[in-house]
Amino acid sequence: MSLVRAIEARNAQLLPGRRDESWRYSDLRGVLRAIPEASPEAPHPRTPAPLGDVEADHEIAVINGRSQTTTFRAAAGSSGALRLRIVSRADHTLHQGAFAIDIEDGANLTLIETYEGDGLAYVSDFSLAVSLGEGARLERIVLLDEPADAISISYSEIDLKPGARFAQTVIASGARLQRHETHVRHPGGGADVRLDGLYLLDGKRHADLTTVLAHVAPDGTTRQLTKGLAKDQARGVFQGRILVERGADRTDARMGHHALLLNDGAEIDAKPELEIYADEVSCAHGNTLGSLDEQALFYMRSRGLPEHEARALLMQAFIGEVVDRIEHEGGRKAVADWVAQRLEALA
């Protein structure tokens, strides 16, 4: 990645930016004029983790890029939940972290992965590598809940074996520039992937949910649903790419992105891409942009709901499907609570 190169060379000119096709809508180079100094070590935060109500069997915190361990292994046939807390406690400095998770054959893991920060204008760069063995299952719930002036880049690579199941829900509240990238290598052979996303943005926040998924062998299914709300001068970016390689026959993939602009001045950029080189493929994508239904709002208000409450209810109804698709019950409830609170700011 050019981001890593730029940091190593301490040369901001090498950062990806709007001239790079995949960073067109998230101009990191334009936002970060110089590579900041490295962040110092920082103590463990006293505040509870976001989604802290979800019970986890293991908890690992990565603070300013540092953690006691950088790997986690879910043993074959095991079942459990891991909380991975990516914490930034830094002012105007930069840190990088990396982590790897190995989910062995038949293991079942729920990953609660949260990004939080209590610093000022920090730059966080984090990468995660996950491998799933045959018949392994991972449900990954990612919450990006960071300060408005932060720059946060997160990147993940997911590698599945046949028969594995990977389900992901990313919830983003944006930052000065917040980008979450997921790359999935889909082996088919009955493997199943769900790649969902939700962005809830206000002020000048920017969130970019980018996914690249490659079906490399026959008989794989993918379901992708991303929804978003953008208010004030916020900007939401969705880039979803599904590649069906030669020989990945009978692939069944569906991608949907639906967003609402809550006022003039907000912006949403969507780039859904399906690239197909195989036969007997069933692929579809849908992309819609709209605004809150003014007639429905009047109807609701005429029944007594104050405007704020009516708007919150309509927004909740719009994005609810993404939350409902979270399978882990505790995770779904915690996300629903977080989302309801976030909608208060947007309504």
Partner 1 sequence: MTMLSIENLHVTIGDKEIIKGLSLDIPAGEVHAIMGPNGAGKSTLSYTLAGRSGYDVTEGSATLDGDDLLALEPNERAAKGVFLSFQYPLEIPGVPTLTFIRAALNAQRKARGEAEVSAPAFLKLAREAASKLKIDFDMLKRPLNVGFSGGEKKRMEILQMAILSPRLLILDETDSGLDIDALRIVSEGVNAMRSPERSMLVITHYQRLLDYIKPDRVHVLAGGRIVASGGPDLALELEAKGYDQYGKAAA
Chain residues in the site for partner 1 (CB under 8 A): 293, 295-296, 298-307, 309-310, 313-314, 316-318, 320-321
Q: Given the complex with partner 1, which of 270 and 319 has the nearer CB atom? A: 319
Q: Please list, residue by residue across 100-113, b when 16 or more beta carbons sit within 10 angstroms of its beta carbon and e when fewer do.
A: ebbbbebbbbbbbb
CB of 9 to partner 1, least distance (A): 49
CB of 195 to partner 1, least distance (A): 22
CB of 304 to partner 1, least distance (A): 4
Q: Contact 112/56 with Cβ under 8 angstroms?
A: yes
CB of 345 to partner 1, least distance (A): 19
Distance, CA of 250 to CA of 283 (rounded, Å): 10
Per the structure block, which two tokens stand in for 335? Answer: 């996300």
Q: Given the complex with partner 1, which of 183 and 301 has the nearer CB atom? A: 301
Q: Given the complex with partner 1, which of 14 and 292 has the nearer CB atom? A: 292
CB of 292 to partner 1, least distance (A): 12
CB of 303 to partner 1, least distance (A): 4
Q: How far is CA 81 from CA 55, 60, 144, 145, 192, in A?
A: 7, 11, 19, 20, 20
Listing from the earlier edge strand, what are the strands of the sheet with 79-88? 58-63, 79-88, 108-117, 137-145, 165-172, 192-201, 221-230, 252-261, 282-290
Distance, CA of 136 to CA of 26 (rounded, Å): 34
Q: Given the complex with partner 1, which of 62 and 343 has the nearer CB atom? A: 343
Q: Contact 270/287 with Cβ under 8 angstroms?
A: yes
Q: Given the complex with partner 1, which of 232 and 321 has the nearer CB atom? A: 321
**For residue 345, how many other CB atoms are within 10 A of its CB?**
13
82 closest CA partner among 113, 106, 53, 107 = 113
CB of 227 to partner 1, least distance (A): 11
Q: Given the complex with partner 1, which of 203 and 320 has the nearer CB atom? A: 320
Q: Given the complex with partner 1, which of 91 and 307 has the nearer CB atom? A: 307
